[in-house]
Amino acid sequence: METQRDGSFLGWWSLVLLLLGLVTPLATAQALSYKEAVLRAVDGFNQRSSEANLYRLLDLEQQSKGDDDPDTPKPVNFLVKETVCSRTTQQPPEQCDFKEDGLVKRCVGTVTLDQIRGSFDITCDELQNTKKAARLGGFLRRGVEEFGRKLENIGRKIKEFFQNLAPRMES
């Protein structure tokens, strides 16, 4: 009789271990990758934003090694750039092209990797250098265009000079 009880006892533990084996992968599968957590934060930024267009991840700094606990906030630092897609579109930002001369923002903060209770706390600010670079680019473009026009005028005057000089030399 004791052998029968030991057998059912082992069967019960086998069942418990089997159930634990099935539940453990589910718990592990609930952790987001670092990039997935950042993309979720970008989606949250787009939802809270009052900007006309969506933003998309442009650059992501690598995750620093640290705690593997998905509930522990991980520091993040990334860039987002304005896309051509309106906020009212149902299209995911990853499918939107970047807007030419679109705004670039640096985002810093923290994310958690837990898929169910995941959270983020980020702040995104426009890069000041981007504005300056865009203004400088416009200034340089206008300067080059103006220089090109002046160079054409000089070339035209030189050509006219030699054309006017040629008839005098023949006579």
Residues 125-134 have pLDDT tens digits of 988 765 555 6
Q: How far from the centroid of its chain's Cα atoms is residue 38's Cα? A: 9
Residue 80 has a pLDDT of 93
- Shared domain for 82 and 100, answered yes or no, is yes
Residue type, 88: T
Contacts of 119 (CB under 8 A, 6+ apart): 73, 111, 112
First vs last C-alpha separation in the chain: 137
Domain that holds residue 136: 128-171
- The tally of domains found in the chain comes to 3
Q: What is the pTM of this model?
A: 0.57
Same domain (yes/no): 71, 15 = no
Q: Give the separation between CA 79 and CA 71, rounded to whole angstroms.
A: 24
**Whole-angstrom distance, CA of residue 45 vs CA of residue 56:** 10
Taking residues 73-80, what's their average pLDDT?
89
Looking at the fold, whether 41 and 3 belong to one and the same domain comes out as no
